[in-house]
Structure 1
Amino acid sequence: MADRKEQDALIQQPDAEAEAEPEPEPEQLTGCGASALCDPRRKPHRFLVLMLMCSLSFGSYFCYDIPAALQTQIKQDMKVNSAQFMQLYAWYSWPNVILCFIGGFLIDRIFGIRLGTIIFSCFVVVGQVLFSFGALLNKYWLMEAARFVFGIGGESLAVAQNTYAVLWFKGRELNLVFGLQLSMARLGSTVNMNIMGPVYDAVERYIGVESYYCLGITFFIGGVTCLFSLACGLILGYLDKRAERILHRKSHGTEKVIKLSDVRYFPLSLWMIVMVCVFYYVAVFPFIGLGKVFFEEKFDFSPTHASAVNSIVYILSAPLSPFFGLIVDLVGKNLMWVLLAVSTTLGSHCLLAFTFWNPWIAMVIMGCSYSMLACSLWPLVAFVVEPHQLGTAYGCMQSIQNLGLAVVSLGSGAILDMSGYFMLELFFCACLCVALIFALLLYLINLFQGGKLNLSTRERRKLEDQSRS
């Protein structure tokens, strides 16, 4: 498998037998191909690859949060309640309870990272087109089915993106790269939160047709971003194939093949990471999905003001994710950053639940904490599993995450309809307490086992140098 060899070439340290073999000479480039932007051995080319890599998720995240940006319009035009509205998020998550894991395995074992990325990007495009037609035809069941199709591609595409990041950048500012990927994804969500309402109003004003028809047209306009991400995936695949040829990746390392049974032997620390991820994200994404109306009702905000404060988490994460990623790269101590992020997010939800302080304070704290957690938690997977298992491990992590998101999306809508926003906030606080417990357990397990999840950057580099000698 080409991609297994690619990962071994860039991630694994060669064994003694491999070191004894003469390495093939890198291909000599001529003409414009030898320029810094076209040579995969030089930083400008890697920066270009990074930009394309980050753009893979822009369209997916933009369209994922379209329901949150148009919550009031969808509920009014499609005549649904909060529980039915949240099914749009649940149907996105349900397929990924299984398919993220399968998608990661397919990337590792069958498709390879390049073909897998393109296939999953196509699912995102098709899902968004069907979602738009569902609104256009006033068929809510079709919108739900479309979110299912959209979800098949969306989360598996994130698995491919994470695998690309480790393939190209492990040992080279990986935390920063994860932060930049999150930044671009959140930029998509931020732009969506702030422009889709005005786009809907403009469509309604200038076309002057039935409301659900305006929804469909608005969704089609948003779907253009998915085509942009697909184009980035195609270009990235070409550049990665070219780099494989130039750098002779296939000639390095020892090929290993993952089997589904290997999941049974994933270390306990990986499952602790997964649990922190699940219980943290279920207190963030479903809240943002319902947050606009919360700010309108509790704080008497206008729809525009409510959308702005609801999107501040995404707005802040765009610049702060790479910033925190760089800090974590310089300092290390990933687990300490994870503990801090979970604790401060819990504090922000407590402010929203128990006080009438200006919600901008709590949401700014949540935005900073969310950025901190994403760039410190996700890279930990690369330190606890073998390189040839990365896609499967990330897929497994996102599968369980989506199970939690699907259940909590349905549950939060039901809690809101029956008991209101105060009880919903208490529920989110409870989820974060569980995440904090698992983070502490992970810290203790790593401490007692002498693991490297909480090493400083200097300690980690020293350990890597020793392993090479």
Structure 2
Amino acid sequence: MCFLVNHLNVFFFSGSYFCYDNPAALQTQVIQDLNLNTAKFMQLYAWYSWPNVVLCFFGGFLLDRVFGIRLGTIIFSLFVCVGQVIFAAGAWYDLFWLMELGRFVFGIGGESLAVAQNTYAVNWFKGKELNLVFGLQLSMARLGSTVNMNIMGWVYNKVAVVVGSPGPTTLGASLMIAAVTCLFSLVCALVLGVLDKRAERILHKEEGKTGEVIKLTDVKDFPLTLWLVFIICVGYYVAIFPFIGLGQVFFIEKFNFSPAEARAVNSIVYIISAPASPVLGFVVDKTGRNVVWVMMAVVATLAAHMMLAFTFWNPWIAMSLLGVSYSLLACALWPMVAFMVPEHQLGTAYGFMQSIQNLGLALIAMAAGAILDSRGYLVLEVFFCACICTFAAHVLVIMIIILGCLCEHRCFGCLRWSGCYSYRAKRRPIKQTQGDFARLAPMSAFGLRNRYLSRLGAQLPDHCSTHLSSLAYRSVLK
């Protein structure tokens, strides 16, 4: 069943990823058909991110405390479907405000759905296999993004032939066709909910829970290392997604690529990520050292942006490096949260991480559009390099390593520090009882004989009960 659950878990988010980058795949068409500038175009990404500055956090809280993982996943999948339909209708009728509303509704479900996917993964898969599962999730999600980047232009051209000419109607019909992938994701979420409910009933998963529930006030008790991971997430992803959203025209203008070539090189990050993510997740599983892998990914990403900004080398080199580093960071960074908080706080922790990430993406999306309109792509690339350095993601990683090295437990590569939740749970002192000490004492021959007779059901005299102290509670007899 775990095999089927894993596949449904990676599939139910692919529709959201496919439609998230619809504007990037149709950047030229959206700007021309709707008569927009770049700053206005990037508002489509900002409106996706704005609701998630708050709603991702509350989405995780709702998963943990109100809806539950199954119902919450279905509700968020519905938001994704409805949002994409509204977005397509806005393009169809040339109403940009309706397109923004559609992206807003789509965003409400999209990022909260990512929180649900992460929570499902942690609930079903434990230990070292978790990095591999996160890699598989990213692989399938990025496969959806890759198909979007390379097929939406073709879909637009085919629809234009049927309609008779390019324009808002053609754009809206193309986006409506893309909504089919969101419907597929909704079906996967429904089936996954049924299987999870069945597993809970058969395996009695509720019996293993501690009974603890998340409270909003628990956020203040998140460890420092978790907050550093949140900031690393922001500093890294703001240099990835806004760039891909604007990358198609960049490759056309700087490297004289055709639109088809520009779409291909712009999607190479996702193409590499699809097969590389599970492989890199497996490597991280086997080697540990999540922090070191994150450090390597951040440095490689900075090198890729510097190549794009200051050289005319074939952009396939830089974009391939960007794809590998992006996959590596996702496989190593996101599972780190599971090592730092108890299971009942996972949905809220992942939600808070998504919220902070979306705040950065919303602000950077607007800034990137304005910079591109006024300064051009060179300054924009310098800006992305500065984002990585300013947020000092690699410095923050080093700080986490230092925190790990200074604590009593030095296995910082696996994140089992004294500040780590799983490590703190193992280090809690166990109160020894008189029965515990009795179990440690050697048994006499007379005690062994009485124990044997007791297990056979023989009645022992009362004066022999003192010799049964070595049984240390009747649980030994059960």
TM-score range, shorter chain: 0.7 to 0.9
Q: Pick from 414, 437, 454: which aligns with 1:455?
A: 414
Q: What is the alpha-carbon distance in structure 2 between the residues aligned to residue 307 and residue 276 of structure 1?
A: 28
Decide whether the 8 Å contact of 1:131 with 1:146 is kept in 2: yes
Going from structure 1 to structure 2, the CA distance change for 1:263 and 1:466 (only over 3 Å counts) comes to closer
- Deviation string 1:141-199 (CA, Å, 9 cap, x unpaired) is 10011100000000000000000000000225000000000001100000000000010
In the alignment, what sits opposite 2:443? Answer: none
Q: What is the alpha-carbon distance in structure 1 between the residues aligned to residue 71 and residue 59 of structure 2?
A: 12
Q: What is the alpha-carbon distance in structure 2 between the residues aligned to residue 81 and residue 463 of structure 1?
A: 52
Q: Identity of aligned pairs, percent?
A: 63
Q: Are residue 109 (structure 1) and residue 75 (structure 2) matched?
A: no
* 1:463 CA drift (Å): 7.6
In the alignment, what sits opposite 2:438? Answer: none
Structure 1 unaligned segments of length 5 or more: list them. Answer: 1-44
* 1:212 CA drift (Å): 0.5
Q: Are residue 332 (structure 1) and residue 291 (structure 2) matched?
A: no
Q: Are residue 246 (structure 1) and residue 205 (structure 2) matched?
A: no
Q: What is the alpha-carbon distance in structure 1 between the residues aligned to residue 405 and residue 251 of structure 2?
A: 42
* 1:312 CA drift (Å): 0.1
Secondary structure, in 3 states, of the residue corresponding to 2:372?
helix
Secondary structure, in 3 states, of the residue corresponding to 2:312?
coil
Q: How does 1:27-38 map to 2 (within 5 A)?
A: none
Q: What is the alpha-carbon distance in structure 1 between the residues aligned to residue 19 and residue 410 of structure 2?
A: 39
Q: What is the alpha-carbon distance in structure 1 between the residues aligned to residue 228 and residue 295 of structure 2?
A: 13
Residue identity opposite 1:99 in structure 2: L
Q: Pick from 252, 269, 277: which aligns with 1:321?
A: 277
Query: Greater CA radius of gyration, 1 or 2?
Result: 2
Q: How does 1:216-365 map to 2 (within 5 A)?
A: 216-365=172-321
In the alignment, what sits opposite 2:109? Answer: 153
Q: Are residue 397 (structure 1) and residue 356 (structure 2) matched?
A: no
Calculate the TM-score normalised by the size of structure 2: 0.86
Secondary structure, in 3 states, of the residue corresponding to 2:414?
coil
Residue identity opposite 1:189 in structure 2: S
* 1:419 CA drift (Å): 0.6
Going from structure 1 to structure 2, the CA distance change for 1:99 and 1:464 (only over 3 Å counts) comes to closer
In the alignment, what sits opposite 2:153? Answer: 197
Residue identity opposite 1:107 in structure 2: L
Structure 2 unaligned segments of length 5 or more: list them. Answer: 431-478
Decide whether the 8 Å contact of 1:269 with 1:446 is kept in 2: no
- Structure 1 runs (4+) deviating above 6 angstroms are 462-469
Going from structure 1 to structure 2, the CA distance change for 1:359 and 1:464 (only over 3 Å counts) comes to same
Q: What is the alpha-carbon distance in structure 1 between the residues aligned to residue 316 and residue 94 of structure 2?
A: 36
Q: What is the alpha-carbon distance in structure 2 between the residues aligned to residue 210 and residue 283 of structure 1?
A: 32
Q: What is the alpha-carbon distance in structure 2 between the residues aligned to residue 464 and residue 246 of structure 1?
A: 31
Q: What is the alpha-carbon distance in structure 1 between the residues aligned to residue 260 and residue 166 of structure 2?
A: 23
Residue identity opposite 2:342 in structure 1: E
The range that moved more, 304-313 or 199-208, is 199-208
Q: Pick from 407, 415, 418: which aligns with 2:374?
A: 418
Q: Are residue 367 (structure 1) and residue 318 (structure 2) matched?
A: no
Q: Are residue 446 (structure 1) and residue 404 (structure 2) matched?
A: yes
Q: How many residues align?
A: 422
* 1:451 CA drift (Å): 6.0
* 1:447 CA drift (Å): 2.1
CA RMSD of aligned residues (A): 1.9
- Deviation string 1:78-137 (CA, Å, 9 cap, x unpaired) is 110000000000000000000000000000111100000000000000000000100111
Residue identity opposite 1:204 in structure 2: A
Q: Are residue 436 (structure 1) and residue 394 (structure 2) matched?
A: yes
Q: What is the alpha-carbon distance in structure 2 between the residues aligned to residue 162 and residue 210 of structure 1?
A: 40
Going from structure 1 to structure 2, the CA distance change for 1:456 and 1:328 (only over 3 Å counts) comes to farther
* 1:272 CA drift (Å): 0.4
- Deviation string 1:192-245 (CA, Å, 9 cap, x unpaired) is 000000100010012214510000000010010000000000000000000000
Residue identity opposite 1:200 in structure 2: Y
Asked which structure has the greater RCO (Cα within 8 Å, sep 6+), the reply is 1
In the alignment, what sits opposite 2:74? Answer: 118
Secondary structure, in 3 states, of the residue corresponding to 2:55?
helix
Decide whether the 8 Å contact of 2:128 with 2:286 is kept in 1: no
In the alignment, what sits opposite 1:177? Answer: 133
Going from structure 1 to structure 2, the CA distance change for 1:315 and 1:210 (only over 3 Å counts) comes to closer
Q: What is the alpha-carbon distance in structure 1 between the residues aligned to residue 225 and residue 14 of structure 2?
A: 30
Going from structure 1 to structure 2, the CA distance change for 1:387 and 1:451 (only over 3 Å counts) comes to farther
Q: What is the alpha-carbon distance in structure 2 between the residues aligned to residue 172 and residue 436 of structure 1?
A: 24
Q: Are residue 69 (structure 1) and residue 28 (structure 2) matched?
A: no
Decide whether the 8 Å contact of 2:231 with 2:393 is kept in 1: yes
Residue identity opposite 1:454 in structure 2: G
Residue identity opposite 1:265 in structure 2: D
Residue identity opposite 2:380 in structure 1: L
Decide whether the 8 Å contact of 2:336 with 2:415 is kept in 1: no
